[in-house]
Amino acid sequence: MTVNTNNKVYAFAANGTEETELLCVVDILRRAGILTVIASIDGARVTGSHGITFDADALAKDCDFSDAEILFVPGGLPGTTRLAESSLVINALKTQAEKNKRIAAICAAPALVLGENGLLDGKQGVCSPGFETHMKGCEVLTDKVCTDGNITTARGLGCAVELGLELVRLLCNETTAEDIKRKICY
C-alpha cells in the first residue's frame, strides 16, 4: 500500500494506554495508507494497561504536530490520566482545535482529556460509561462513534474498529473505508 503523506495522524501513547484501542485504530489507518505516528510521552517502549509492551514510532517531545490532520488520544487507565496531565499533549490538542483541525479520542479520553480541557464545548460526543460527568460542555450520546465537526469520539475498546473506519472515511473516502471493512471481515 502506498503511504499518503498528505494525511498524517499522530496517536498519543503513555504507559497504561489501552493497547487495543490504540493499535487497532493505528492498524486501520495504516491499512488505508495514512501515515500514522505513535507518539509516546513516556519513552520508546510503552507498556499498556494490560501489560503488553510495544514500540512507539517517536517521542512526543520530538514531534512537530503542525502537520497533523488528526491527533488521536486512546483510553485506558492510567494512560488516559497520564495523557491528560501532559502539558505537551494538552497544548497540541488545543492548538489543533484552534485551527479547527481534527481530534479523535476513545473510551475515557474524550472525558478526561478533551472534556476536562474544554475541547468539547457545544459538541456532541461519546465516552466510556461512567465518565459522562467529565464531558464538560458536551451533549453525551450513546452511539458507538460520534463525529461532530472536527471532533470524533468513541465509547471504548469494542468500538475501536468503527472509530478507525470513521477516521478513514473522514481522511480518505467511503470507498476506502468500505474496502478495508470488507478485507478485515468486519
**Three-state SS at 60:** helix
User: C-alpha cell of 14?
Assistant: 503513555
Residue 1 has a pLDDT of 55
Q: Looking at residues 62-74, what average pLDDT do you find?
A: 98
Tell me the per-residue pLDDT of 161-184, one tens digit each, with 9 for 90 and over: 999 999 999 999 999 999 999 999
Give the per-residue pLDDT at 111. 98
- Report CA 121 to chain centroid distance, whole Å: 18
Report the pLDDT averaged over residues 27-47: 98
| Mean pLDDT, the chain, integer | 97
Whether residue 42 is predicted with pLDDT greater than 80 in this model: the reply is yes
Is residue 4 over pLDDT 80? no
Q: In this predicted structure, what is the pLDDT of residue 7?
A: 87
Question: pTM to 2 decimals?
Answer: 0.96
Cβ proximity of 150 and 119 under 8 Å: no
**How far apart (Å, rounded) are the C-alpha atoms in residues 13 and 95?**
19
How much is the average pLDDT of 11-39?
98
Q: Specify the pLDDT at position 5.
A: 58
pLDDT band, residue 6 (cuts 50/70/90):
confident
Q: What is the mean pLDDT of residues 122-149?
A: 98
Span 4-180: which CATH code? 3.40.50.880
